[in-house]
Structure 1
Amino acid sequence: MNKILLCCIALFFTACMSANMQAFVQTNNEGIFIKSEKNQSIAFHFKNPSNYNTTLEYRLKKKFQELGFRVIDDNADYNAYINLVDFRKFSFAQRMSSASADFFFSGFDTIYNNYEMYVENYFIMQVNIKIESKTQTQKTSLVARTAYLSNLKRCQDALENKIVEQISSFFYFN
C-alpha cells in the first residue's frame, strides 16, 4: 500500500513539474476549412461576456501576423467573430468497485464491500467562432480541456494556446 501511495505522489509531482501541459480541443460540428493566401487581411471582433482576464485576442492577432495576415479593423478579407463563453473548473467523481480486485489479489479471502472513488478535475475553455469572408460564412464552437490544476495561470495559457492553434489551422494557404 505504501509503495502505491509513493508511486502516486511521485507521479503527481512529476506532472506538476512538467514544462508541457496536455490540453485538447473538440468541436461541436464540422470543422472550418478556409483557402487563403498570404497578405490577406483579417479583422478580429472579440467578445468576453464571462469577463475573464484573457490574452486570447492578443495571441490570435500575433499568430495571424506570424502566418502572413494583415490584422486590421475595417474592410478585411476575413472577419472573425469570437465569443469567449466560459472558462471554469469541473469535477467528476465515480464510485469504483474493487471487490473483484480483492478476490484476485488477496489470496481468495472473503470479499468485502470495498470501494474507491475515481475523481477527475479539469478546466475547460469554450469559444464560439464565426469566420466570414466575401463568399462564405463558417462557424463552430471549440471546447478546450486540460487536467492540469496546480497553477491557474498556466492552465489558462495552455488552453488559450490550444484554441489559437486550432483557429489558425482553419486556414489553408496556396
Structure 2
Amino acid sequence: MVNTQHPSSIGNKSLFVPKISRKGGMELLKLENQADLNSLPLGNWGIREPSYESAEGPRLNGQFEIFRFYFSYLIVDNKSNGCWLGFNTGSWYVRDLNFPFVSPTVITGVAFDRSMSRLGHGKGYYDRYIERYIADGKPRPLLVALGLRDQLLSQAIPVEEHDFKMDMIITPDEVTRR
C-alpha cells in the first residue's frame, strides 16, 4: 500500500530520540511535534539530535508512537496494538509488521547479521540503556533494527557477551525475525 501522507500528520503520537549525556549514558527524549524535531541542533553526524542541556525526559502517552530513523518510521498504535513501518522513498510505503504489541525500541547500528546480532559504534549506549530499562522492572522491549539492505550481512559480525540480540531487523526489502 502506498500512503503519501506524512506520518507526523497521523493522530496523537510520540516521537522519542536518543540523547547522549556527557557521562556517556543514553536517555530517550520525547518530542511533541515536527517543530520540536526541526528545532534540534545538528550533531557531529549531521543528524538532528538533542543537546546535552535538554532536560525533558521520556514520557509515553497518546495513541501513536512514531520512531524515526533516517529514511523510515516505525509507527505503533497504542490503542489497537497495531504496528506499521513506513519508508520514505519519494512517497510513503507502509508495511504491516503483524507482531504482538510489545514496547518497541528502534536500534541503530553499523551492521547486522542473520543471527540477529548488531554491530554498533562500540560505545554500548543502547546495550546499557536496555539493561537499565530491564533492571528497573520493565519487560524487555521488542528490539527493532532499521537499516539499509547493505547493512544486513550474511557473514557473522563480532559481538560481545553483553550485546543484545535484535528481535527484528527491517530493511527496505525484508523483515527478518528472531
Give the shorter-chain TM-score range. Answer: under 0.3
> Scaled by the length of structure 1, what TM-score is found?
0.21
Query: Which structure carries more relative contact order (alpha carbon 8 Å, separation 6+)?
Result: 1
> Scaled by the length of structure 2, what TM-score is found?
0.21
